[in-house]
Amino acid sequence: MEIGKSIRIKDIAKLAGVSVGTVDRVLHNRGRVSEDALQKVTTVMNQIDYKPNLIARTLGSNKNYRIAALIPDPTLDPYWAQSNLGIIQAQTEWAQYGVIVDTFPFDLYNKDSFHRIARAVVEEHPDGILIAPIFYHESIPAFELFQEAEIPYVLFNTNIHEAKPIGFIGQNLNQSGRIGAQLMMLGQHDPATFAVLHIDEDVHDSVHLLEKEKGFRDYFQEKSKAKFEIVDFNLNPHQEAFKTQMIQLLENDMLKGIYVSTSKGTALAAAALEDHGKKDIRMIGYDILSENLKYLRSGTVDFLINQNPKRQALLGISHLVNHLMFKKSTPPMDLFPLEIITQQNVDSYLGSGIH
Amino acid sequence: MEIGKSIRIKDIAKLAGVSVGTVDRVLHNRGRVSEDALQKVTTVMNQIDYKPNLIARTLGSNKNYRIAALIPDPTLDPYWAQSNLGIIQAQTEWAQYGVIVDTFPFDLYNKDSFHRIARAVVEEHPDGILIAPIFYHESIPAFELFQEAEIPYVLFNTNIHEAKPIGFIGQNLNQSGRIGAQLMMLGQHDPATFAVLHIDEDVHDSVHLLEKEKGFRDYFQEKSKAKFEIVDFNLNPHQEAFKTQMIQLLENDMLKGIYVSTSKGTALAAAALEDHGKKDIRMIGYDILSENLKYLRSGTVDFLINQNPKRQALLGISHLVNHLMFKKSTPPMDLFPLEIITQQNVDSYLGSGIH
DNA sequence: TTTTTATATGTGCACGCACACATTTACTTT
DNA sequence: AAAGTAAATGTGTGCGTGCACATATAAAAA
C-alpha cells in the first residue's frame, strides 16, 4: 500500500497535458502562459488538493533571506533583552537554511534614534522586517518607508492600527488589565483601595500602558464593587519624587493592592513595597524578568502576567520566514495567551523550552 | 558576501581528500572504510562544525514512517478527545512528508483492553509509538514488548518511572496541586475548610491524581495555616451516593473552597455546586473542556489548571518524528507550563492557535 | 602469473521543486 | 514565401543528501 503519496507538480502536468514548466508558471503566476493552458491547469488544480512539498521547495530555490529586527537596545533593558533572546534563537534555528537576522537596536528613550535606525534598515533593503513600534507617531513614517521599498514587515509587542503589516504578534492589552483586576479582586471582601501604577521614564508607549490600565479599571466598574476605590499614580522613577510618592501611597491604610502596568515598574514598586515592610498588599505586575522573579519568589509580588517577549520575537521571525521562504500565509494577528505566573508555577515556565 | 554558507558533505570530502561516499559511510558508520580514510575524515570533522542539511536529508531519503498512538478512546471522553485533536493535527502536518499516524484507542475503564491493544500495536511493528500509560501496572509489560521489538516510544500525560522511553511529555503533578493550593489560599483570612475531591470512575490512574492531591495538601502544610482544614472526598460519579455526598459536603458552612483533581470531575462538582446555589465557594479544577468552560464562564469555577492535552499529544508526535526522521535527539522530559486559566484569560488561550 | 575473493572507494541517480535556457508555435513584416 | 519576432511551452540542471551500484585496490587462492 502506498502511503503519503502526495501529488507532485509532475503529476499535475501529466493530468493537465502540459509540461512541468507551464504548471510552474501557473503556480507562481509568472505569466507567459496561454489562456488555454492556464485553463487546463486551473481545472486540475481545482479538482485535486495540491500541497507543494516545502522541503523540496526550500532545497530547490536555494535563496538567502535577510531579515532586519528593529527593537529597543537589548543591552539597556531586561525586557528587550528577552525579545533579543528570541531573535537569537530564531537566527540560529534558521541559519542553515540561508536566513540571517540582523538586529538594529535603537534607543528606547530617543525617538530620533528610532527614526535614524529605521532609515538605516531600509537602506540595507532586507527581505523582511520585524519591528517593535513602541513610538506611536514616529512609526507611521517608518511604515511608509517600508511600503515604498516593498519590504514586508511584522509588528510585535505594540500594535499600530494605521500600519498595514503582514502580521501582528502580541496580546490583548485591555484583557490583560482585566485579568490583573480579576486577580486583584479575588477574595477581597472588605472595602479597599487599589492603586494603578503607571511607571515610565517617558511617555513613549503610554498608549500601550493606558490600554492595560483601562482594562483594569473597566473590570472593577463592570463588577460594580462600589466598596473598592481605584487610585491612579503616574510615576517617573528617574525623578527625585518617586520614592516619596511611593511611601505616601503605601501609608494609605486602605491600600490592599497594587497593579503595575510595566515590567520594569514591577520591580521598582516591589522594592519600595519590600522596604516599607507592609505584607498584606497584593501586588500584580508584568513579565518573568530576573528582577521581578526575585520579588515573586520572596512573596512580595503575587502575580506576574507574562507577555512572553522571547516567544513573541521568535514567532515574529518565524512568520517572516514562512512568508518569504515558504510563501505560506500567516495569521494577520497572533494574540498570545495571557499567562498568569505565580510563585508556584513560575518554574514550570522557566523550565519548559519554548512555550 | 556569502551568507549562511554551511559546510556540505562534498566540502568535507574535499578537505579530507576522499569521496563523498566515504564521508557518508563515516558519518553513518556503515563500515567498509579503511583506518586511514576514517582518520582523515574524523580529523576534518573535529576541526569543522558539520551540521547536516535536514531539508536535503528528508528529501533524499524518501522514507515512510508509521507511528502508532496508544490512547484512551477519544469518543468516550472529552479530555482524550482533546489529545486526539493533537494527534490529528500532527497527522495532517506530517502527512506530506511520509509520516502516518494510526490511533489505537483502548477502553479507558478496561485494563484488558489496554493489554490487547498494546499487543496489537506491536504486531503492526510501527516505527514509533506514542503512549498514554494510564494503567500503571499494566503498562510495564507493554514497555517490555516495545523494547523487545526495538520500537522507540514516547510517554505522555502519565509518567512511569520504570519505563525507559525516549521522552516523556507532561506536567509536574505535585507542583500542579501546589498551584491549586496557592490559588485557593489567596485572600483567605478567616478559618475555613477546603475540600479535595478525588472524582474517578475507577482507581485506574489514581497515582496521577494522588500526586496532585498530595501537592495541594503539602502546600497548606508548609504554609502552616492551622486555621485551614482540608477534607478529602473519594467520589465515584457512577454510584448513587454521589449526589448526596456532594450535598452533604456543600452543607458544611465552613466550606470555602473545592479542589478537584480531574478534568471530568470538575464539571460534575461544578454542576452540584451550581445546583446548590452557594456562591462564595472558590472552585479550582482542570482543563479547558467545553463542559468546564461553561462553569468557568458562569463564575462557578474560579480557576482551571490547563494540562494542554492537545499540545501534549502534538508534541509527542513531533518528538517521535524528530527522532525517526531527523535523527535529532529530543529532551528526555518535557514538562509543560502549569497554565492558570480564569474567566478573563480563557479566550486568549482558545484564540491562539497552538500555545 | 592469473583468478578469485574481500574490502575499499568512487560515481551516479533520485527526491520535488525553482529557474534558466532551449525549443516550438503563431503571427507579423518584408 | 521567406524572414523576423514575440509569446508559449518544454527540457535540463542544481540544491544536499542517501543509497545503490560500479570500479579500484589489495590480499589470498589457484
Inter-chain touch B355–A337, beta carbons under 8 Å: yes
The predicted pLDDT at position A323 comes to 86
Work out the pLDDT band at B3, boundaries 50, 70, 90. very low
Alpha-carbon distance B343 to B337, whole Å? 19
CB nearest to B51's CB, from A6, A96, A172: A96
Which of B290, B299, B310 shows the shortest CA–CA distance to B352?
B310
The answer to whether B45 contacts chain A (CB < 8 Å) is: no
Indicate whether B27 pLDDT > 60.
yes
CA dihedral A130, A74, A342, A344 (to 10 degrees): 110
B328 touches strand D (CB under 7 A): no
A171 at B interface, C-beta within 8 A: yes
pLDDT at residue A43, as a whole number = 95
Spatial separation of the C-alpha atoms in residues B123 and B125, rounded to whole Å: 5
A-chain residue closest to B174, CA distance? A344
The whole-number Å distance from B33's CA to C9's C1' is: 8
pLDDT, position A203: 59
Q: What predicted TM-score, i.e. pTM, was given to this entire model?
A: 0.88
3-state SS, one letter per residue, for chain B: CCCCCCCCHHHHHHHHCCCHHHHHHHHCCCCCCCHHHHHHHHHHHHHCCCCCCHHHHHHHCCCCEEEEEEEECHHHCHHHHHHHHHHHHHHHHHHHHCEEEEEEEECCCCHHHHHHHHHHHHHCCCCEEEECCCCHHHHHHHHHHHHHCCCCEEEECCCCCCCCCCEEEECCHHHHHHHHHHHHHCCCCCCEEEEEEEECCCCCCHHHHHHHHHHHHHHHHHCCCCCEEEEEEEECCCCCHHHHHHHHHHCCCCEEEEEECCHHHHHHHHHHHHHHCCCCCEEEEECCCHHHHHHHHHCCCCEEEECCHHHHHHHHHHHHHHHHCCCCCCCCEEECCCEEECCCCHHHHHHCCCC
Quick: pLDDT tens for B130-181: 999 998 889 999 999 999 999 999 999 999 999 999 999 999 999 999 999 9
The pLDDT of A223-235, averaged and rounded, is 88
Quote the CA–CA distance of A174 and A178 in Å, as a whole number. Answer: 6
> Residues 152-191 of chain B: which lie with beta carbon within 7 Å of strand D?
none
Instruction: Name the residue among B175, B170, B151 with its Cα closest to residue B159.
Output: B170
The confidence band for B342, taking pLDDT boundaries of 50, 70 and 90, is very high
Euclidean distance between CA atoms A129 and A316, whole angstroms: 9
- For the CA atoms of B27, B29, B32, B38, the dihedral, rounded to the nearest 10 degrees, stands at 60
The residues that bridge with A1 in the sheet, in sequence order, are none
The pLDDT of residue A174:
97
**Taking CB atoms and an 8 Å cut-off, how many pairs form between chains A and B?**
132
Which of A186, A256, A259, A329 would you mutate first to test chain B, the one with the most B CBs within 10 A?
A186
B330 close contact with A: CB closer than 8 A: no
Measure the CA–CA gap between B89 and B83, rounded to whole angstroms.
10
pLDDT at site B322: 85
Q: How far is the CA of A231 from the CAs of A130, A215, B187, in angstroms?
A: 37, 14, 21
Residue B185: count other Cβ atoms within 10 Å of its Cβ.
Answer: 18
CB contact B194 to A (< 8 Å): no
Mean pLDDT of chain A: 91
Q: What is the pLDDT of residue B5?
A: 67
| Secondary structure element (H or E) that encloses residue A12, with its range | helix A9-16
